[in-house]
Amino acid sequence: MSVGELEKKLELAHVKGTVPKVVIPVHFSGQSCEMDRIFELSKEYGFAVIEDASHAIGGKYLETPIGGCRFSEMTVFSFHPVKIITTGEGGMVLTNRQDLYERLVRLRSHGITRDPVLMEGESHGPWYYQQIELGFNYRMTDIQAALGTNQMTRIDEFIQQRHEIVSKYNYAFKMLPLVLPWQHPNTHSAFHLYVIRLKLDSISKTHLQVFEELRKRGIIVNLHYIPVHTQPFYQRLGFKWGDFPEAETYYREAITLPLFSSMTDVQQERVIASVTEVLQ
């Protein structure tokens, strides 16, 4: 998230009376947004901040682990199977606010409470509970929790392995017609993804051709992500191509290369050789 562009948007929204209630910075690929500046804007314009750290467990911002909610009301992590830490599915919400914590606990279990202070009327006995709002069924199983807590003991190891793989990629690709992932000096990325951007003016192939040629070589590249405003649901709400040119330019250039903590030198050398062959 560009804080400069966010500030311009907030200034305009303030004039129009449309300042958002919530801003959700996304720590894309594992690198934190500039949360200190976003936090200052939240105080100036009166919005809440929720960090989407689905890619960023194990990363750091200003030498502090991402997820501490120093600059936000809540932080959300994902434990989807392809994430750095997995419980098979699901995720985790962190907050330092007692009121939000208590409501989140209720919402994960149908909106039910056993706290007499929150009930309407008298308790009927030790068995009694009340559903005081409409919640969900988001309770993690013990088996999932065991899987996740075991992996948490290795989180630093996983992140270190990812950094070593990224360093090797950066060195191998530095002379190719690519834009490599830039790292903000205040962050220590979790490197969930390694996204290259093609300098199409310097390549005699299209984005699609490069993607397909890598796939034909057995390199399972991907594209994270298609801009949301181009999806049919949002187009029916009035969004259209051209509304967010930076996102669209990124979409025309980006390719995600394989990156996982157990990646071997042989596997990585194969990726490097394939990318080099295709681009040269």
Residues 8 and 146 in one domain: yes
Residues 132 and 207 in one domain: no
DSSP assignment of 35-104: HHHHHHHHHHHT-EEEEE-TT-TT-EETTEETTS-TTSSEEEEE--TTSSS-SSS-EEEE-S-HHHHHHH
- What is the pLDDT averaged over residues 69-88? 96
Residues 226 and 106 in one domain: no
**pLDDT, position 139:** 87
Residues 94 and 185 in one domain: no
The model's confidence at residue 140, banded by pLDDT at 50, 70 and 90, is confident
**pLDDT, position 108:** 94
Whether residue 195 contacts residue 181, with contact meaning beta carbons closer than 8 Å, is answered with: yes
Structural domain ending residue among the three candidates 126, 152, 178: 152
Q: Note the pLDDT tens digit of each residue in 198-241.
A: 999 999 999 999 999 999 999 999 999 999 999 999 999 999 99
Structural domain ending residue among the three candidates 91, 120, 152: 152
Residues 271 and 169 in one domain: yes
- Neighbour-count burial for 210-229, b at 16+ CB within 10 Å, e otherwise: bbebbeeeebebeeeeebeb
Residues 16 and 146 in one domain: yes
Q: Tell me the pTM.
A: 0.92
Structural domain ending residue among the three candidates 152, 185, 205: 152
Dump strand ranges (E) for the chain. 22-23, 48-52, 60-61, 64-65, 74-78, 91-94, 112-113, 130-131, 178-179, 187-188, 194-198, 254-257
Percent of the chain at pLDDT > 90 equals: 98
Q: Note the pLDDT tens digit of each residue in 89-122.
A: 999 999 999 999 999 999 999 999 999 999 999 9
**pLDDT, position 245:** 95
The CATH number of the domain where 57 resides is what?
A: 3.40.640.10
Number of domains making up the chain = 2
Residues 141 and 76 in one domain: yes
Rounded Cα distance between 66 and 43, Å, is 20
**pLDDT, position 127:** 94
- What is the pLDDT averaged over residues 134-161? 94
Residues 260 and 274 in one domain: yes
Domain residues for the domain of 217 are: 155-279
Residues 183 and 254 in one domain: yes
Cα Dmax for the chain? 76
**pLDDT, position 179:** 98
Residues 56 and 91 in one domain: yes
The CATH number of the domain where 243 resides is what?
A: 3.90.1150.10
Is the pLDDT assigned to residue 273 strictly greater than 90? yes
